[in-house]
Structure formats: C-alpha cells, structure tokens
C-alpha cells in the first residue's frame, strides 16, 4: 500500500536528532510512503525543510517548563502549534495516518479531530508517563499528587483507546498496553530502538579525546531528574579519589534539565579535571567518542520507569563494540544479555568494583566488546525492527482498503 502519506508528531526532541523517529521516517520512505514530521526546532533549524525526502515542519520550542503550571503551558503550547502545522501539512497533501510519539500523552485528541477525515492513529509508545511521575516524585501521598497521577493515567488510557495500532519499544511496554491500556495484543507490535549497525560501528580512535589518560568511560543520554546521571559522577568520585585512578577520564555526552546542576556537582566532587560535559552531540561526535572509549556506563538507578525501559545508550555502546557496565535492571538485562558486566541495582560500591576489575582486564574487555557487537548485529539491529515497523502501516492500509 505504498504511496500513502504518514504524518509523525514528536514533542520532546527535534528530528533528525531523535534517532528512533528518524530511522522510522527513513524506513517508511524506503518502503514507498510519503512522510512528514511535526516537531520543535533545534538550534538553527528552519521552520520547514525537506531532508532525504522527509518533510520536516518545526515550531519554536516553548520556554523550559517549571512546576505543574509550566508543564501544562508547555503541553498546551506544543499541542496548538502542532495542530496548526497539521493543517499546513494537509494543505500540501492529504495524510492517511497520524503517528504520535510520547511524551506527552495528549495527541490522541488531535487524532480524534482528524479521524472523521479517514486518518488512522498509530501510537508510538516511547515513555511510561505514570512511571516517570512515580520515579521522580515517589508514590503520591497528597491529594494533589494523587490527582496528577490519576490525570496521567487517564491521558494514557485515552491514548491507548484512540489508537488503531500501538507500537511498543519492548515487551514490558507491550504488556502495559495490553494489561493496563486494554489494547488487544494483536493490535500491538514491538519495535525496538535498535541501532543501525551499518552506520554505528567502531571507527578510528581519536586519542586526544582521552586527554592523556589510558581509559575513557562514556555515558550518553538526556540529563533529566529521573535519569540518575548524578550516579555517573558518584562512580567517577570513587574511581578517581577512592581508588586513586588518575588514568581514567569520563565523558558525559548529552544535555537536559540537569546539565548545569551536574556541572556544579562535578566541581563540588573535585572532578573537573576528569569529567567532560560535551553538551548536545550528533552522530559524528558520538562515533568519535565511542570509538575512543574503553567502556560504556549504564548505571541507571532502579525505578518503576527504568526497570522496564530499554536504554538506547546500552545498545549503542554494544554497536560500537564497547563493553558495558550496568545495573541489572529487567530490560537492561534483556538488551545486553551476557555481553555486559552487572552490579545489583543501586549498589554503587558493587558497580565500581566491577568497573575497576574490567579496566584491569583487557582480554575480558575485548571479549565482551566483540560479543556485544555480534549481538547488536544479529539481535538488536534496526533492520528487522524496520520491517516490523513498516508492516504496521502495510497492515493498516490493507485493512482500510478492504473496507472500501
């Protein structure tokens, strides 16, 4: 059924910086679909551009949200800007499917508005917003907190109920769609955010990134309150000061609400000479750092969200042949299998112990890195994920055509 037009809506990251969404766009384009995207602008982005045949419509992002009122304003602002741009997309060419990538769980309302025009709704489930709330604030003990959590659960249910198909990033998310969302399992599909191993692969080392040290340890991601990035600095403090490892440096690649707080914490812990904050990075910079690193760090703290979420950074470390040191969370262990070194969740001393032992065992590092690369190529790679993803749209449009 190639030739149909799919509109993809993203709020939390611009495209193509959102790697998963960009891979989805390219998969649909390669399958013959026309693809448009609505998302916020990144620095220097135009309001419209066509990139590799994908039409990108972008709006100025809102100011950084603070507090409940701030988040409500952000969601409302982005929703209205997205709705207006969807009219602009429609004027260029009618679209037959709308895909919303959360957070937030608000675009079911936009899908409802377009449904009378024959537009099918696909929910690409990136985040568990009720679990984000519980992970950041704990189980609510106040009336206000319980109301906020109830509102998030209501929005999630409305999203599930509006969707014609649900795409889940792993089996844990799929089970939540079925058990909590009431979605028939046959209307759900697991599409992991697998790395494109033809692109994500070890390249030439850049020794200067190690800044004169033997080892470089890397962390990649969005620096939000629920992401536990401060744990990386606690690990660095123990490695450098407690174990006296002046031969180890750390590079934290990414940005987010907590970046400035993390820089201040690094200064308080006397780590400024050992920790580099790169800020926002693209594929080229990531490849340079990962190709020059000794290991990748995944010390994601246990939380209702982290335990059932797939960490993209873990898969990307493996694609670059890096051994991984991680806390043994449910989906992290599913992702890395036997290709990582694990510590019990939130056991900082245990994590540091495993890391130090790995640093001092080059043969083990090489074996884990090679095994991780093989697993990335044979199990986690984006190619089979892309086939599953495109099959969702093929199925939607076949069933739609059969009713006409």
The domain limits of the chain are 5-194+382-402, 207-380
What is the maximal distance between C-alpha atoms in the chain? 71
Q: pLDDT at position 67, please?
A: 72
pLDDT(378) > 80 = yes
Q: Which two tokens stand for residue 160?
A: 């599930």
Q: pLDDT at position 403, please?
A: 47
Q: pLDDT at position 2, please?
A: 59
| Whether the Cβ atoms of residue 253 and residue 317 lie closer than 8 Å to each other | no
CATH class of the domain comprising 207-380: alpha beta
Q: pLDDT at position 235, please?
A: 97
CATH class of the domain comprising 5-194+382-402: alpha beta
For residues 32-51, give the mean pLDDT. Answer: 96
Which residues are registered as beta bridge partners of 125? 168
Q: pLDDT at position 137, please?
A: 86
Q: What is the mean pLDDT of the chain?
A: 94
- Alpha-carbon distance of 100 to 112, in angstroms, equals 12
Q: Give the confidence band of 257 by pLDDT, cuts at 50, 70, 90.
A: confident
Q: Give the confidence band of 64 by pLDDT, cuts at 50, 70, 90.
A: confident
Q: pLDDT at position 399, please?
A: 65
CB atoms under 10 Å from CB of 80, counted, come to 12
**Predicted TM-score (pTM) of this structure:** 0.85
For residues 180-206, give the mean pLDDT. Answer: 95
- Alpha-carbon distance of 191 to 234, in angstroms, equals 34
Q: Strand, coil or helix: what is 390?
A: helix
Q: Is pLDDT larger for residue 67 or for residue 392?
A: 392
Q: pLDDT at position 338, please?
A: 94
For residues 188-200, give the mean pLDDT. Answer: 94
Domains 5-194+382-402 and 207-380 share a fold: yes
Residues in contact with 197: Cβ distance below 8 Å, sequence separation at least 6, in sequence order = 319, 373, 376, 377, 381, 382
Q: pLDDT at position 3, please?
A: 84
pLDDT(358) > 80 = yes
- Alpha-carbon distance of 161 to 28, in angstroms, equals 24
Query: What percentage of the chain reaches a pLDDT higher than 90?
Result: 87
| Cα Rg of the chain, angstroms | 21
DSSP strands (E only) in 235-281: 248-253, 275-279
Q: Which helix (H) or strand (E) holds 375?
A: helix 362-375
pLDDT(224) > 90 = no
Q: Is pLDDT larger for residue 242 or for residue 67?
A: 242
Using CA atoms of 255, 16, 183, 103 in order, give the dihedral in degrees to the nearest 10: 30
Cα 395 off chain centre by: 26
For residues 381-399, give the mean pLDDT. Answer: 93
Among 2-6, 10-14, 291-295, name the most confident range.
291-295
For residues 306-332, give the mean pLDDT. Answer: 96
The candidate with the shortest Cα–Cα distance to 245, out of 342, 324, 355, is: 355
Q: Give the confidence band of 398 by pLDDT, cuts at 50, 70, 90.
A: confident
pLDDT(401) > 60 = no
Residue 285 burial (C-beta neighbours within 10 Å; 0-12, 13-18, 19+):
middle
Q: Which two tokens stand for residue 106?
A: 């608000």
Q: Give the confidence band of 400 by pLDDT, cuts at 50, 70, 90.
A: low
Note the pLDDT tens digit of each residue in 76-110.
999 999 999 999 999 999 999 999 999 999 999 99
| Whether the Cβ atoms of residue 109 and residue 160 lie closer than 8 Å to each other | no
């Amino acid at each position: 059924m190639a030739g149909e037009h799919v509109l993809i809506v993203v709020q939390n990251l611009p495209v193509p910086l959102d790697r998963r969404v960009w891979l989805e766009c390219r998969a649909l384009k390669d399958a013959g679909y026309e693809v448009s995207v609505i998302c916020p602008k990144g620095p220097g982005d135009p309001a419209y551009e066509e990139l590799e045949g994908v039409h990108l419509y972008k709006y100025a992002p809102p100011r950084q949200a603070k507090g409940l009122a701030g988040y409500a304003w952000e969601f409302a602002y982005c929703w209205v800007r997205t709705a207006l741009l969807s009219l602009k997309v429609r004027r260029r060419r009618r679209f037959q499917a709308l895909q919303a990538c959360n957070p937030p769980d608000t675009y079911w309302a936009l899908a409802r508005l377009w449904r009378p025009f024959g537009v099918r709704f696909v929910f690409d489930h990136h985040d568990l917003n009720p679990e984000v709330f519980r992970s950041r604030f704990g189980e609510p003990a106040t009336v206000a907190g319980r109301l906020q959590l109830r509102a998030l659960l209501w929005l999630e249910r409305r999203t599930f109920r509006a969707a014609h198909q649900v795409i889940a990033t792993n089996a844990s998310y799929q089970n939540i769609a079925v058990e909590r969302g009431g979605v028939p399992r046959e209307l759900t599909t697991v599409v992991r955010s697998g790395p494109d191993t033809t692109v994500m692969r070890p390249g030439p080392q850049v020794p200067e990134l190690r800044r004169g040290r033997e080892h470089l340890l890397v962390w990649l991601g969005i620096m939000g309150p629920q992401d536990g990035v401060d744990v990386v600095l606690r690990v660095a403090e123990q490695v450098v000061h407690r174990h006296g490892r002046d031969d180890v440096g750390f590079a934290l690649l990414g940005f987010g609400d907590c970046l400035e707080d993390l820089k201040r914490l690094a200064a308080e812990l006397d780590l400024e000479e050992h920790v580099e904050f790169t800020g926002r990075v693209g594929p080229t910079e990531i490849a340079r750092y990962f190709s020059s690193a000794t290991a990748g760090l995944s010390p994601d703290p246990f939380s209702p969200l982290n335990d059932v979420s797939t960490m993209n950074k873990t898969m990307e470390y493996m694609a670059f042949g890096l051994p991984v040191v991680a806390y043994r969370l449910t989906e992290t262990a599913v992702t890395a299998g036997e290709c990582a070194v694990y510590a019990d969740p939130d056991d900082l001393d245990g994590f540091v112990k495993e890391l130090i032992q790995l640093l001092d065992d080059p043969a083990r590092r090489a074996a884990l890195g090679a095994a991780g690369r093989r697993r990335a190529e044979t199990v986690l790679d984006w190619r089979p994920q892309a086939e599953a993803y495109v099959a969702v749209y093929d199925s939607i449009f076949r069933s739609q055509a059969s009713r006409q």
